[in-house]
Structure 1
Amino acid sequence: MRGTRRRSRDLIPRRRRALGLSLLLATGLLATACGAGPSLRPGVAVEHPHSGGVPATTAPAAPAVPAPQVPKHDLAWHDCATTTFDQLGLGAAPAGVIFECSEYATPIDSGGAIMGTFRTAVARARVQQTPAGAAPLVLTSGSDRSAVATLAGLVAGPAPAALAAHPIVAVDRRGLGGSQPIDCLPADIRHRIADAGQFVPGGADPVDAMAKLSQDATIACQDFLQPYQSTFDAAHAADDIDALRKQWQIDKIALLGTGNGARVALAYATKYGPHLARLVLDSPEAVNTDAATRTEQRLKGAEAALTAFAQRCVAVNCALGPDPRAAITDLVGKATAGQLGDLSAGALLTTISGFLGDPRADQTAHVTDLADALASAGRGDRGPLTQLTARETAAVASDGQFVTRCSDSQQPATPARAKDLENTWGTQYPVFGRVAAARLMTCTAWPVPTPPPVPATLDLPVLVLGNTADPVIGPDARPSVTGALGVAGARTATATWEGWGHPVFTHSACIQDNLTAYLNDATLPADGSACPA
């Protein structure tokens, strides 16, 4: 990056602060307060196998799987329920839930190539009934949103069944949530990235504009982060989780990865497989696929989630009227044409998709909140929607997410391919398609990273969860993951939830029952099991 360093100093004088960050990182960064996020929708505790399901293997195989262990040397936890829930606008923390935060030191590079440590933020949730001797389940949401936010979303609703059996410990990825945030993008570049896909009469094609922004953003962040710019990928996130295992002084852990966090969990299985006692992949991101394929998978899920949202909106007589989807499509068209003031189509769609993928689970209130804000904007009052946009942008589109997502990105699309997809996706996915095509360029200038690792061998039963209306990952990613695990020798079983949202374990008590059974004795449900919405 020496060539880009000179260029970035000319473009961005404020890069001088990079030295300050380097000194902080080298001596150990102080984490900010634990981040927060979403809430729980209790599912119906009913399970029925899909007609093509294969019954789970019973007693003989289960005892051979080692159990996760209870920490011998725990972290210093402190209550952070009020702080966390206030940050997320979730109101008072529910009675009976114990929500605590802590932090621990992780090597910047476990191989020793770069000295120094980061500070990593964690949160732990349990309830009064959680057995004192129950082994924790470690949770990572990867780069999708703060893992602490996902955990807060789980506990914000009625007390979830999963916590009655095991405490859950969420680990924020580097640059996200309570872990040291990354502030590498100049404000104007950050704003223009958020507006990706916006049509400007007489201006550059949105794809070309985004490709130029990718160059500017990459220069800014690479320069700001050096010499640590290559330490924000999934493999380093897996190292941070293993640093927690070492802090606990135990040999075996249980790990749950949601969305992009499944990529981190697979990296952990690759590097530290012998230390895994349980592995759960909830709505896992596809492996060994190109950027356009992964994006189209998300588009399918986002459009399906929007359809489900619209149906629920009609059922509760929401403010968007008899055809909520048409009202939203009209609003996106207005934003694209610049008729919503400074609210661009890109920012609006980030708000909608972020809201649909929020782990909070009170979906009736969830639907009403979004519908009211969108309807107000349609009438000319953008205040509620502006507040919602600020919240969702902070949750899913921070500088840390730009860096971590680009650090994992593989097989980017070319500008020519993205331009072809503008029209194709604009027709097939009329709400999200055109902006998604432009955003294919977001990471094109980032140095192509080492492919995220996938285990070559894994002698472990793996529970895979998912649904069809997932706005974060989409419905078609799971087969690539289960296929890779099968090649590695792992036994897998998939349980799906028939509702919409992400991830499924925060929304469905039925899924949580399957999760708890697996954590207790490695029992997999029948492959193809389904839980009703």
Structure 2
Amino acid sequence: MRRIGVAAIVLAVCTACGAGPSDRPEVAIVEQGGGSAPTTETATEIPQLQAPVRDLDWSDCKDATLGSLGLGAGPAGLSLECAGFTTSVDTSRGMTHLIEIGAMRARLPQTPDGAAPLVLTSGSDLASSSTLAALATGPSASLLEQQPIVAIDRRGIGASTPLDCLSTAERRALADLGQFTAGDVSNVDEVAALGRDATVECTDALQPYELAFDTAHAADDLEQLRELWEVDGLGLLGTGNGAAVALAYAAKYPAHVGRLVLDAPPATAVDAATAAEQRVQGQEAALANFSRRCAALNCSLGPDPTATITALRDQADAGNLGAVSSSSLLTAVSAFIGSPRGDQATRVRELADVLAAAERGDVAPLQDLIDTTETAVGTDGQFVARCSDGQQWPGPGRVVELQQTWAAKYPVFGADAAVALMRCAAWPTMAPPPLPSTIPVPVLVFSGAADPVIGDGGLATVTGSLSSAGARWSSVTWEGYGHPVVTHSDCARQALDRYLDSATLPSNGSACPA
């Protein structure tokens, strides 16, 4: 596979795509009230989704995908197939340069032939194909019994044409927040300098397409898929940042929205610091949940896992864990806890043992976890996408204030999260992601009480945007920890199944147990 190099967009053809779950029997959704949407919506006038008239050229990629992600085989007969399609870098500017968008389809033997697929996007948080692989090999695979699910990797991420604009050293320094390169300057100033250099490198490499990797262009890629399929509308499941992509699609192509599910959506129309603080709140809440479960299992982190992890972070910050920085440690912990894998409950001891080994001086397992994490969440494509999506990045003075404030309010993740805002502070100002003015179908919204990827502080802005668009919507809150909701909660999956089948919404303000 070739990469995007300096001043050139090239094609890359994909041949292989590379939280406490609730696995209970049928459980009733508990209504907790709140919200202004209709309590129940049976929308018989909403058309059924259509199967593709003309499909992509799929080929088997199950073994390669599951092997690279360290996942089990999944349910008997699981099929994972990969494909790709080309799209213009920027149709709005008449650009004809093409890039490849990676896709992966999951099915089971009992998936009905000719069933309309559900389209999944995780946006920039994680390759959509990785989210789908985790979904398909866990309890959420039951969703495949009714329809196939097709994951579309955001441009520059996963199996889509990758971006290659930073050196390994630059990528490493950004991940470490300059801990090992700061010298006599503050870490805020060092990350500001690293961010400026990275911005110059990537915008120069991508010219004249440097502004074509935001949510609006990701929505255009979904529309290209719809046109290739020759269907009237898409059923969309957007998780995390992918929910912003799905909303952008609804804003640009409202007539082609067949179903719209927003799972753990980020806040709409907020500045980057507010979005980061909401994420930190989710990280702290998820870690507290993980620590309670770990302690209850008498795990290797002792009776107070949070205190042990905090002490380990401090060791990393002091340079006592070799090449492990405090930032890379916290990123790995947060990503592990927020993994879409449905077997997360069985992995509590796994993370505990890795961290306990590092505490004893054996950092090799932790370094392996960090390397795996950065491959999943620290690519150049994700850097470009995240910087493109953020709004009103704060300057160094404001970040210093946030560093001090957040260190007190959010004692584990707060300080590093503030400094990390400087990575994108030099990125060119981008238009905010578009929001829909009308949505022709009911919208189902899931939110996690302890989501380390997005947090839940932005839910009101999302539902407010839906109300402003005149949409019918219902929100369901999951009381567990992890991301996204549908890969962990059987209760949420049941609500999703009903919605996909008949566009029926559950009672607004409902809650699913942990």
* TM-score class, shorter: over 0.9
Deviations 1:371-401 (A, max 9, x none): 1110000000011111110001111111111
C-alpha distance 503-318 of structure 1, shift in aligned 2 (>3 A): same
1:51 to partner: Cα distance: 3.0
Deviations 1:477-531 (A, max 9, x none): 1110110110110011001111100000111111111001001111000001111
Of 289, 310, 313, the match for 1:329:
310
Aligned to 1:299: 280
Aligned to 1:18: 6
C-alpha distance 181-16 of structure 1, shift in aligned 2 (>3 A): closer
5 Å-filtered alignment, 1:441-480, equals: 441-480=422-461
- Secondary structure, aligned partner of 2:480: coil
1:30 to partner: Cα distance: 2.3
Aligned to 1:520: 501
1:450 to partner: Cα distance: 1.1
Distance 2:254 2:25 in 1: 34
Distance 1:208 1:214 in 2: 10
Of 58, 80, 105, the match for 1:77:
58
1:202 to partner: Cα distance: 6.2
Aligned to 1:418: 399
Ranges in structure 1 where 5+ consecutive residues have no aligned partner: 1-14
1:165 to partner: Cα distance: 1.2
Aligned to 1:238: 219
Q: Report whether the alignment pairs 1:363 with 2:344.
A: yes
Q: CA RMSD in A?
A: 2.0
1:203 to partner: Cα distance: 2.4
1:159 to partner: Cα distance: 6.0
C-alpha distance 455-515 of structure 1, shift in aligned 2 (>3 A): same
Deviations 1:249-284 (A, max 9, x none): 111110011111011001100111100111000000
Aligned to 1:34: 17
Aligned to 1:65: 46
Aligned to 2:380: 399
Aligned to 2:236: 255
Q: Does the Cα contact within 8 Å between 1:197 and 1:438 map onto a contact in 2?
A: no
- Secondary structure, aligned partner of 1:63: coil
Aligned to 1:486: 467
Of 223, 231, 239, the match for 2:204:
223
Distance 1:523 1:197 in 2: 50
Distance 1:206 1:496 in 2: 37
In structure 1, what residue type is equivalent to 2:17?
A: C
5 Å-filtered alignment, 1:24-423, equals: 25=10, 28-31=11-14, 33-35=16-18, 42-53=23-34, 56-59=39-42, 62-158=43-139, 160-196=141-177, 198=179, 203-423=184-404
Distance 2:213 2:5 in 1: 19
Q: Does the Cα contact within 8 Å between 1:318 and 1:371 map onto a contact in 2?
A: yes
In structure 1, what residue type is equivalent to 2:116?
A: A
Of 483, 489, 498, the match for 2:479:
498
Query: What's the TM-score, normalizing by structure 2?
Result: 0.95
Q: Does the Cα contact within 8 Å between 1:472 and 1:502 map onto a contact in 2?
A: yes
1:160 to partner: Cα distance: 2.6
In structure 2, what residue type is equivalent to 1:414?
A: G
In structure 2, what residue type is equivalent to 1:386?
A: Q
Distance 1:436 1:233 in 2: 22
1:365 to partner: Cα distance: 2.4
C-alpha distance 134-345 of structure 1, shift in aligned 2 (>3 A): same
- Secondary structure, aligned partner of 1:111: helix
- Secondary structure, aligned partner of 2:422: coil
Deviations 1:68-122 (A, max 9, x none): 2111111121111110000001143442211111111112112253212111111
Q: Does the Cα contact within 8 Å between 2:4 and 2:163 map onto a contact in 1?
A: no
- Secondary structure, aligned partner of 1:64: coil
* Count of aligned pairs between the two proteins: 510
- Secondary structure, aligned partner of 1:442: helix
Q: Sequence identity of aligned pairs in percent?
A: 51
